[in-house]
Structure 1
Amino acid sequence: MKKSIKAKMLMIFILIFTILATNSIWAIINFNRLNNSIDNIMESNYRTIVAAQNMIVALERQDSAELTQMFTVDGSAEKIFLENEKEFIKWLARAEDNITEIGEADILIIINEMYTQYIKQFNELIRIQTNDGPGAARDYYYNEILPVFESTKEECRNLLNLNQNAMLDRRDRAKAIGKNASYSTILLSIITILIGLILAIYISNKMIKPIYNLIEKIKGITEGDYSQQLDIDSSDEIGELAREFNTMTRKLESYEVLNIKKLMKEKQKAEAIVESISDGIIVTDENNKILLVNRAAEKGLGIREKEVLNRHFLETIKREEIFQMIDEVKNSEDIKSYKKYINITVTTDEKTRHYRINVRPIMDKDGDNVGVVTLMQDITKLKEIDDMKSDFVSTVSHEFRTPLTSISMAAGLLLDKTSGEINENQAELLEAIIEDNERLKNLVSDLLDLSKFESGKVTMDIELQDINEMIEYAVKQFRQRAKDRNISLEIDVKENMPKVNADFNKISWVLTNLVGNALRYTPRDGSGKIVIKAKETANKILVSVADNGKGIAEEYQERIFSKFIQVKDDNGDEKGGTGLGLAISKEIINAHGGEIWVDSKLGDGSIFYFSLYVGT
């Protein structure tokens, strides 16, 4: 008959439970016997012992009262004698109600008789003292009363000793019961342990050993040896498992060659795709060791893949800014808390190239970060074109300042009627000229400021600054405007934030620009909300300006920090401004050694971030 593992285990457990139950019942019986013996000791003799002790105490107090009576006549000694007489009789009655030992009743009869005589003698003592004087009373006490007192006291001691000896006998019997119970329980426990060991060895040989054998075979498979076979001949589940395992290994062995070919083909295909990408690619693991480098990255950084593989990033690539970005991405739980790209300049073989570094985490199916992919986009041509454009704009801006000033002055003189009277239409045209001229002058001023930042000609007055003060300074000019537009403007910054290294006016200008942009794109129906926050992260302060406006499309999120880029509204129109504010803000933050970026989603608003170093 085929027996399953379940049936075998059930039979073994039933046997073990039966033995344990027998052991437990035997222990309970012995403990009950021991408990009953202890109860007998405590209940049967303890009351009589207490009664005997209290009778002795009462008797001794009465004797003291008699001695006092012979030397005083105030009646206090007689009162004490009578009080202790009541006490003696009370405890004598309790002893008579608790007779448990042989001979105890006879002792109590003697005590009762002698005590009755003792009471009578006390009364006689009082009479003699009254009639014959203290001398006769003392003679009567020592000759008649004292022997009766000693005899009565001795009988009380006999009662006490009788019950104490009985308690000692019962204690010895309880010890014997406990000793026998211990020996019998130990014997049963040893038998139980031996049976358990025998069953454990049986289970190990019959069930566990084949499982260990299976584990060893599986380890061989994980090492690539698919020829593993189990030699188990049984009809239970273990045997069924062994047969299925052997079938699986035979199939795995037949698929091995085919799978290796497919994997090699896929690997070669993936490597070919990576190598064909014109942008540089570096893949690092969770320990920042390099796993892959394509040709473009080799060329851009002047390295060789075989020399850097499985080595720490900074050990072979001396680019702290790239590693810092990789480390932030790897250790950050929130992708919004780090910048999505940086621009770097690399000089190799006397050639200078410009790259935009994008870093993205590699997540497994459980959402755990297992590595980082770093993409190096070559933006050298774009940088050169941008520099040319910046030079051109700077030159043109300088050339525009003088004629714009002249136009402004001339239009102002004409409008003031300095050169003669003008009609209403002419005045409107002159006002339009002055307004457009002012806009152009602001544009030229912004362009010149931007040109100075890009060329590094702007001097920064960097000192230790309070981030709370800069935020308050920048926000206060917008409070009335926000109130007029029915927009909530909040500051959420903790007190006693660390101070930062910053130019107060420049950072205030950045905050003013970000808050002004938020006001421009936030709804005015009462639901609009702008929140400025600051928090400490590592050795930096991260400042954010969040709104619940329409948001920024993804294709604009990197471009808006370039010159003349503005996000259009729902009608396709640009909401004022010169398109230079964010470009200037970027240059200011970069000049402070920080970073600025945006996180936004259409319909969910936008959050602009920038970072500043904590002051030292």
Structure 2
Amino acid sequence: MNLKTKITLAFVTMLLLLLGVSAFTLYSLNRLDRTARNVVKDNLYSIELGQQMLRALDQLQLREAPLDEASKKRFEQLLTREAGNITEPGEQQVVDSLVDRVGELNRYLASDTTSPQIWQSQMQKFRGLTYRMIDLNTQALSRKNEAANRTATQQQRYVLALLTFALLTSLLFVLSVPEAAVSGLRKLTASIENATNQDYSASIPVESHDEFGTVARAFNRMLVQLQDYRTSTLAQLMAERNRVASIVNNLDEGLLLVDENRRVLLVNPVAANLLALPAAELLGCPADEVARQNDLFRELLRHLDTPAAQRPQEAGPVLTLAQNGEEVYYRVAVNDVISFNEALDKMEFVGSILTLHNVSEYKKLDQAKSNFLATVSHELKTPLSSINFSLKLLQNGKVGTVNEEQQRILATIKQENQRLLKLVGELIDVSRLESGNIQLNFQPTQVRDIVQFAADTIQLQLQPKQLTLDIQVPTELPPVRADIEKTTWVLLNLLANGIRYSPEQGQLHIRAALAAGGQQVEVLVQDHGPGIAPQYQEKIFQRFVQIPDKSGYRGGSGLGLSIAREFIGSQGGQLWVESELGSGSTFRFTLPVAG
């Protein structure tokens, strides 16, 4: 028998029991009701008639004149009703005697004798018979009441027995049917738990042919298929895992994987060798705990903690490490891993990948290039200075008269020579920055003084475009630790760029404020030019890079912003840009507060 039939039979049986108990209870109530109605109809009615007959006799006995026709007629009517409601043994004889007495009373009233004694004797006989009739019905009423009580008690016992049987039967079904329905589910749940723990051997015993038996057979077949699938795919997964592990372990780059909880998940041999720590000691360890014991890992963690918006998009920072007695250079790259969580239907951060790429060969080539540029720059500076001096002599006319056309040509040559001298000077600065030979003169200074000096210097360049300079630098700002000359050069470079790209009769803004945390002062230069597209906002700080200019300007070398960032960075600050196309640009740099 299947489970559905069992449950259906249980409910049908309980329904039949409920209907049986209800029907028997209704039958018992109807039987008691009929008994009560018969008692009222047979006996109580006769008793009531007898009481009314007694009251009529009282009226006849109280009258002084014996001929009270109304009371007499009333008594006869009540007697006639009683004659029609005879239900008890002996009641008929009493009623017949009363009828005879009424005849005698009528004959007595028709005679001329009106003796009071005879009248009282007649009334006493009427009373005696009436009381006899009432007594017969009263005794019958008592007997019927006792019989009704016995019947009610008996019916109560029958109903209680039937209810007890129904309750026991219902309890039997309540205890057996749900257990039969749940026992199979318990077995199925236990087997599913084992399968969840990759134990596919715990099958469900098939003990019946009901729905659970069908489910058990289907589930057991599924376990067999899962076991076969697991066996077949495990080898593939192991092969794929070994392939990926081989690729990772044979990379010539250092590779580390840190999860969202800042625990080290993966370290390849190159990274472990650079960190001078066994991979087994790193796996599963908190990154902060490793950083406290390892300087290189602490530096990598610093780059990891840098906000993604402030990380270099193309070229990451280069670390100089000692390896086998010589310096090697590794470029650090940090990539956040974002994965789609199907359960939550959203993208989630799941970790970060840190890579260390060996750029020692490129660094050597770059150093050779820098040395070449430094040598060429120094070699070019002397002849260019001589050319510049000679041009001044020609323009002054000390070596001969020069006509107007020649003066124009000399001015053009001098202008181009000045550009070459400026380019050579920037190349020399670049070479000094790369070699680390640049000298910085740190001293406490007020930002207001630096801004004011730059503003005074740039005034002449504002006039051709009729630009105005808006300066807002609070006097209560703390002094900063900076190289005044280099910082002024950076500010002048930013102002020159703002003048170059600002529309005529525009306005430039210089602001200064204490940065969040109170450890640095932030200075910004804002213009209302065409703005910088997002893809160029980081590239403009690279060397020899110029963004496309609709005005056709090509006078710069592409080194100014690169040198400016190096100057600010060497002083412990940062330089970056915020811009939107059509809304101008805002260059910001920070300087540390003098301690």
Q: Same fold (TM over 0.5)?
A: yes
Give 1:399's aligned amino acid: E
Give 1:587's aligned amino acid: E
Q: Which stretch shows the higher mean deviation, 314-323 or 426-435? A: 314-323
The Cα offsets for residues 154-195 of structure 1, whole Å up to 9 and x where unpaired, read as xxxxxxxxxxxxxxxxxxxxxxxxxxxxxxxxxxxxxxxxxx
The Cα offsets for residues 485-517 of structure 1, whole Å up to 9 and x where unpaired, read as 799999999998887543344334334434544
Aligned to 1:175: none
Q: CA deviation at 1:226?
A: 2.6
Q: 1:251 aligns with which of 225, 246, 251?
A: 225
Quickly say closer, same or farther: Cα 1:261–1:609, change in 2 above 3 A. Answer: farther
Unaligned 5+ segments in structure 1 are 12-197
The Cα offsets for residues 258-304 of structure 1, whole Å up to 9 and x where unpaired, read as 22122222222322333444332211223433222234434544444
Aligned to 1:587: 566
Structure 1 CA distance for aligned equivalents of residues 209 and 466 of structure 2: 81
Quickly say closer, same or farther: Cα 1:234–1:309, change in 2 above 3 A. Answer: same
Q: CA deviation at 1:351?
A: 1.8
Structure 2 CA distance for aligned equivalents of residues 200 and 540 of structure 1: 77
**Pairwise mapping of residues 530-545 of structure 1 onto structure 2 (< 5 A)?**
535-536=515-516
- The yes-or-no answer on 1:551 pairing with 2:533 is yes
Quickly say closer, same or farther: Cα 1:382–1:256, change in 2 above 3 A. Answer: same
Structure 1 CA distance for aligned equivalents of residues 362 and 426 of structure 2: 22
Aligned to 1:432: 412
- The yes-or-no answer on 1:266 pairing with 2:244 is no
Quickly say closer, same or farther: Cα 1:514–1:415, change in 2 above 3 A. Answer: closer
Structure 2 CA distance for aligned equivalents of residues 569 and 526 of structure 1: 20
Aligned to 2:51: none
Give 1:348's aligned amino acid: Q
Unaligned 5+ segments in structure 2 are 12-171, 342-346
Q: Which stretch shows the higher mean deviation, 407-416 or 307-316? A: 307-316
Q: CA deviation at 1:359?
A: 0.7
Aligned to 1:323: 301
Q: SS state of the match for residue 328, structure 2?
A: strand
From the CA coordinates, give the structure whose radius of gyration is larger.
2
Structure 2 CA distance for aligned equivalents of residues 203 and 474 of structure 1: 93
Q: CA deviation at 1:352?
A: 0.7
Quickly say closer, same or farther: Cα 1:439–1:349, change in 2 above 3 A. Answer: same
- The yes-or-no answer on 1:383 pairing with 2:363 is yes
Give 1:592's aligned amino acid: Q
The 8 Å contact of residues 336 and 599 in structure 1, kept in 2 or not, is answered as: no
Quickly say closer, same or farther: Cα 1:314–1:422, change in 2 above 3 A. Answer: same
Quickly say closer, same or farther: Cα 1:432–1:263, change in 2 above 3 A. Answer: same
Q: CA deviation at 1:337?
A: 3.8
The Cα offsets for residues 39-75 of structure 1, whole Å up to 9 and x where unpaired, read as xxxxxxxxxxxxxxxxxxxxxxxxxxxxxxxxxxxxx
Q: CA deviation at 1:393?
A: 2.3
Aligned to 1:578: 557
The Cα offsets for residues 454-475 of structure 1, whole Å up to 9 and x where unpaired, read as 3333333435566687678767
Q: SS state of the match for residue 351, structure 2?
A: strand
Q: 1:280 aligns with which of 249, 254, 258?
A: 254
Q: Which stretch shows the higher mean deviation, 605-614 or 508-517? A: 605-614
Give 1:274's aligned amino acid: V
Give 1:323's aligned amino acid: L
Aligned to 2:201: 227
Quickly say closer, same or farther: Cα 1:339–1:496, change in 2 above 3 A. Answer: farther
Give 2:254's aligned amino acid: G
Give 2:563's aligned amino acid: I
Structure 2 CA distance for aligned equivalents of residues 241 and 342 of structure 1: 62
Give 1:290's aligned amino acid: V
**Pairwise mapping of residues 362-511 of structure 1 onto structure 2 (< 5 A)?**
362-366=337-341, 367-463=347-443, 501-511=481-491
Q: CA deviation at 1:431?
A: 0.8
The 8 Å contact of residues 512 and 521 in structure 2, kept in 1 or not, is answered as: no
Give 1:266's aligned amino acid: E
Quickly say closer, same or farther: Cα 1:352–1:615, change in 2 above 3 A. Answer: same
**Pairwise mapping of residues 108-257 of structure 1 onto structure 2 (< 5 A)?**
216-230=190-204, 246=220, 248-257=222-231
Give 1:325's aligned amino acid: H
Q: SS state of the match for residue 281, structure 1?
A: strand
Q: 2:309 aligns with which of 329, 336, 340?
A: 336
Give 1:289's aligned amino acid: R
Q: CA deviation at 1:604?
A: 9.7
Quickly say closer, same or farther: Cα 1:384–1:533, change in 2 above 3 A. Answer: farther
The 8 Å contact of residues 445 and 482 in structure 2, kept in 1 or not, is answered as: yes
Q: CA deviation at 1:210?
A: 6.9
TM-score normalised per structure 1: 0.54
- Percentage of pairs with the same residue: 30
Quickly say closer, same or farther: Cα 1:247–1:447, change in 2 above 3 A. Answer: same
Q: 1:345 aligns with which of 310, 313, 320?
A: 320
Q: CA deviation at 1:222?
A: 3.4
Quickly say closer, same or farther: Cα 1:234–1:507, change in 2 above 3 A. Answer: farther
How many residues align? The count is 420
The Cα offsets for residues 301-330 of structure 1, whole Å up to 9 and x where unpaired, read as 4444334322334266422322111123xx
Aligned to 1:145: none
Superposed CA RMSD in Å reads 5.1
Give 1:336's aligned amino acid: A
Q: CA deviation at 1:552?
A: 6.1
Q: CA deviation at 1:375?
A: 1.5
Quickly say closer, same or farther: Cα 1:234–1:519, change in 2 above 3 A. Answer: farther
Q: SS state of the match for residue 365, structure 1?
A: strand
Aligned to 1:104: none
Structure 2 CA distance for aligned equivalents of residues 470 and 402 of structure 1: 32
Q: SS state of the match for residue 324, structure 1?
A: helix
Q: CA deviation at 1:365?
A: 1.3
Quickly say closer, same or farther: Cα 1:419–1:325, change in 2 above 3 A. Answer: same
Structure 2 CA distance for aligned equivalents of residues 244 and 477 of structure 1: 89
Structure 1 CA distance for aligned equivalents of residues 474 and 176 of structure 2: 68
TM-score normalised per structure 2: 0.56
